[in-house]
């Protein structure tokens, strides 16, 4: 039976540098009292609650430092939350660690392969840690090496492997013990387009055997094409949740027109709001405006003439169609890549 | 406790040690054997040192080889794997309590230290002979001493490996290991320090003193040595303290 994943009000504050893969967080300084040196407090998760259904491909989408890797860390017994709870199936991650480790497979953001072993030995020993018998682990290792196109390199030390090969082997290793829940932290970062497509295919295939998959990404295409549901997170909490289609539909109008003027007046923004099809207008710094609308290109002549009438010359226009990128921008005022 | 996972991790460490056997062999034995050759053969043969020095030197050489094999075998991989390659994460995600992974490292380090001790005895004897007078009068006490010495080395490796920053490895050798060897009563018996009374008391905080003196007491009892009871108690105490410190540090490193 498929296994779900749940977190309730997770908080994590690092008092030292966060672990690799969770770096890039914003830093806040706590008040210094009693003449002590101010202590660096790095909040990574701020009341994160998620409910991932059994057998679903779920994506955590957010910019660097949003708390994606920390969430995976908490769910995989590697990061102890400051408060809150996490469950894999009905097992509390922090009370039943060994049981939980049986159920999960983890692909880290940065390869952590055992450099003292060959590719094949890495898979075989991994299976042995999980108590899988010798015959079965040999068969499974051969099958996964073939599936990930690593058979030719199976008996070589992994030290000389390319980044893409290491990533493939990391995923094969995570699948060796046939976990109920597969965690992938930025699985396609640094992969060439071909390998990325192979990876997506393999994730879907694995999911079809009734497994739950949780992946983090800041790649829109990946979130859109692979994930059944997404949580968009920023500063350690969920800012939007739903299927990619529903999330995109929640952007007012769908189209986003990012405009830039020579100069801009409040009056201009109000008049933009009145154009047919415009749903929302937001000032973006002193000379720009973000216009959310039902239509894209056909609005441009009207905007241009409106700008000319109010003495603000239109200097730049960028039109984007409904996308998760726009959704993120709509919620946070920032681009995912900022 | 998941014995299957524990055994698989031991098998992994044995496999890696076998693969690196020649490198490990040279790294462990070359320096002590050169020392044995220069001091036991050259210096004794040319009359600068008395013939009895050969027998006095051997227990110290065994102690050095065992202790540094154990420390090296546990500490170096831990420093690299926690701070650099993150390789240990695969084992941290295995279905076994985190403390057992540290204990597995200690057992693997102990075994390597014991093997080092058992190999260095005949090797040193070959380099030194003739004129080495070893007698194992109390085999059980000898066994107890070498097991405690091996445990001390592996627990020390765990504590150091989980406390030292990667960029401080050089400092660890300069500031911890070198003074430990020279003030460890390895090349001389503890009683030889009686003309330096303050130093003689101060070196008692160095666990290597008990390792060398314990091996001296059980292999060459004809020379002055610390009481075997004191040696056993002190080694046991160091083993326990280093194990507790090492486990705590390991868990701190394993979970952020």
Total count of domains within chain B: 1
Coil, strand or helix: which one is A128? helix
Q: Give the CA angle between residues A226, A227, A232 to the nearest 5°.
A: 130
pLDDT computed for residue A21 by the predictor:
46
Whether residue A265 is predicted with pLDDT greater than 80 in this model: the reply is no
ipTM: 0.87
Nearest CA in chain B to A116: B16
Contact: A129, B19; criterion CB under 8 Å: no
| pLDDT number for residue A31 | 38
Query: Is A113's Cβ below 8 Å from some Cβ in B?
Result: yes
Contact status of A77 with chain B (Cβ, < 8 Å): yes
pLDDT digits (tens, 9 = 90+) for A187-236: 887 788 888 888 888 899 999 989 999 999 877 778 888 899 999 888 88
- Least Cα separation, residue B16 to chain A (angstroms): 6
pLDDT value for B1: 75
pLDDT at A174: 93
Given a cut of 60, whether residue A338 has pLDDT beyond it is no
> By the 8 A CB rule, do B185 and B208 touch?
yes
**Which of A18, A115, A121 comes nearest B87 by C-beta?**
A115
Question: Could you read off the pLDDT of B43-102 as tens digits, one per residue?
Answer: 888 989 888 888 888 899 999 999 988 998 899 889 988 887 888 888 999 999 899 999
Which of chain A's residues have a Cβ under 8 Å away from the Cβ of B19? 116
pLDDT at residue A149 greater than cutoff 70 = yes
pLDDT for A261 equals 82
With CB atoms and an 8 Å threshold, state whether A125 touches B256: no
Q: How far apart, in whole angstroms, are the C-alpha atoms of residue A226 and residue A321?
A: 20
The pLDDT score that the predictor gives to residue A39 is: 63
8 Å CB contact of A108 and B89: yes
> pLDDT-based confidence at A117, cuts 50/70/90?
very high
Whether residues A112 and B11 touch (CB distance < 8 A) is answered with: no
- With an 8 Å Cβ cutoff, are B12 and A98 in contact? no
* Average predicted confidence (pLDDT) for chain B: 90
- Local structure of residue A157 (DSSP, 8 states): B
Interchain contact, A173 vs B90, CB within 8 Å: yes
Length of chain B in terms of residues written:
256
Contacts of A247 (CB under 8 A, 6+ apart): A230, A232, A240, A241, A324, A327
Give CA A153 to chain center in angstroms: 30
What the block records as the tokens of A147 is 């599936």
Cis peptide bond upstream of B130, omega within 30: yes
Q: Is the pLDDT of residue A173 over 90?
A: yes
Which residue from B239, B237, B13 is spatially nearest to B104, judged by alpha carbons?
B13
**Which residues in chain B touch residue A108, judged by CB atoms under 8 angstroms apart?**
86, 89
* Pairs of residues, one from chain A and one from chain B, whose beta carbons lie less than 8 Å apart: 87
For the beta carbon of residue B212, count every other beta carbon within 10 angstroms.
30
Contact A73 B95 (CB under 8 A): no
What average pLDDT score do residues B228-233 get?
93
Residues of chain A neighbouring B95 (CB-CB closer than 8 A): 98-99, 101-102, 129-131
Taking any CB pair shorter than 8 Å as contact, residues of chain B touching chain A are: 2, 4-5, 8-9, 11-12, 15-16, 19-20, 85-98, 254-256
Give B174-179's long-range contacts (Cβ < 8 A, gap of 24+). Answer: B177/B68, B177/B71
CA distance B160 to chain A (A): 20
B147: helix, strand or coil = helix
Q: What is this structure's pTM?
A: 0.83
Q: Could you tell me which chain B residue has the CA closest to the CA of A129?
A: B5
pLDDT of residue B107: 95
Do residues A240 and A247 touch, judged by C-beta distance below 8 A?
Answer: yes
CA distance B36 to B31: 9
* Minimal-distance CA residue of chain B relative to A128: B8
**Residue B98 DSSP SS3:** helix
For residue A78, give the nearest of B5, B16, B92 by CB distance.
B92
pLDDT, residue A27, reads: 38
Task: Label the pairing between strands A104-107 and A181-185.
Answer: parallel
What is the Cα–Cα distance from A222 to A200, expressed in whole angstroms? 8
pLDDT band at A28 (very low <50, low <70, confident <90, very high): very low
Average pLDDT over residues B116-142: 85
- Note down the domain range covering B103: 3-255
């Amino acid at each position: 039976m498929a296994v779900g994943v749940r977190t309730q009000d997770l908080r994590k504050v690092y008092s030292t540098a966060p672990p690799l893969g969770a770096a890039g967080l914003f830093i806040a300084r706590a008040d210094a009292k009693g003449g002590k040196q101010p202590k660096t407090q790095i909040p990574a998760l701020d009341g994160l609650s998620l409910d991932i259904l059994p057998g679903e491909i779920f994506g955590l989408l957010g910019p660097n430092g949003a708390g994606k890797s920390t969430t995976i860390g908490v769910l995989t017994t590697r990061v102890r939350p400051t408060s809150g709870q996490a469950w894999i199936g009905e097992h509390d991650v922090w009370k039943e660690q060994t049981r939980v480790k049986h159920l999960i497979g983890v692909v880290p953001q940065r390869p952590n392969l055992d450099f003292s072993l060959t590719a094949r030995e890495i898979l075989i020993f991994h299976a042995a840690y999980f108590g899988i018998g010798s015959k079965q682990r040999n068969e499974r290792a051969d099958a996964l090496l073939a599936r990930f196109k690593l058979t030719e390199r199976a008996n070589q030390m992994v030290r000389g492997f390319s980044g893409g090969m290491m990533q493939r082997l990391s995923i094969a290793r995570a699948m060796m013990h046939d976990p109920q829940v597969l965690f992938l932290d930025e699985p396609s970062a640094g992969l060439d387009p071909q390998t990325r497509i192979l990876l997506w295919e393999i994730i879907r295939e694995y999911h079809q055997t009734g497994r739950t998959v949780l992946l983090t990404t800041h790649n829109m295409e990946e979130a859109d094409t692979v994930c059944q549901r997404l949580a968009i997170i920023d500063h350690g909490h969920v800012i939007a949740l739903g299927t990619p289609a529903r999330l995109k539909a929640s952007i007012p109008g769908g189209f986003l027109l990012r405009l830039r003027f020579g100069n801009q007046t409040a009056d201009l923004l109000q008049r933009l709001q009145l154009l047919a099809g415009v749903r929302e207008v937001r000032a973006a710094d002193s000379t720009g405006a973000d216009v959310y609308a039902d239509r894209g290109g056909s609005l441009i002549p009207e905007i241009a003439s409106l700008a000319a009438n109010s003495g603000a010359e239109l200097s730049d226009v960028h039109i984007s169609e409904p996308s998760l990128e726009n959704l993120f921008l709509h919620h946070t005022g920032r681009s995912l890549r900022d | 406790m998941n014995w299957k996972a524990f055994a698989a991790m031991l098998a992994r460490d044995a496999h890696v040690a076998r693969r690196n056997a020649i490198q490990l062999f040279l790294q462990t034995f070359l320096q002590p054997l050169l020392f044995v050759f220069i001091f036991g053969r050259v210096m004794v043969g040319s009359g600068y040192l008395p013939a009895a020095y050969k027998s006095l030197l051997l227990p110290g050489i065994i102690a050095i080889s065992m202790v540094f094999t154990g420390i090296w075998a546990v500490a170096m991989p831990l420093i690299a794997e926690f701070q650099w390659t993150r390789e240990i994460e695969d084992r941290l995600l295995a279905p076994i309590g985190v403390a057992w992974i540290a204990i597995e490292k200690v057992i693997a380090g102990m075994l390597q230290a014991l093997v080092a001790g058992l190999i260095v005895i005949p090797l040193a004897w070959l380099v030194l002979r003739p004129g080495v007078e070893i007698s194992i009068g109390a085999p059980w006490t000898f066994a107890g001493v070498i097991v405690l010495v091996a445990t001390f080395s592996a627990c020390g490796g765990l504590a150091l490996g989980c406390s030292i920053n990667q960029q401080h490895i050089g400092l660890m050798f300069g500031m911890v290991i070198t003074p430990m060897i020279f003030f460890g009563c390895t090349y001389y018996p503890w009683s030889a320090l009686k003309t330096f009374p303050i130093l003689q008391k101060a070196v008692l905080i160095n666990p290597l003193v008990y390792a060398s003196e314990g091996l001296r007491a059980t292999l060459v009892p004809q020379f002055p040595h610390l009481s075997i009871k004191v040696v056993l108690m002190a080694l046991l105490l160091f083993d326990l303290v280093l194990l507790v410190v090492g486990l705590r540090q390991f868990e701190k490193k394993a979970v952020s």
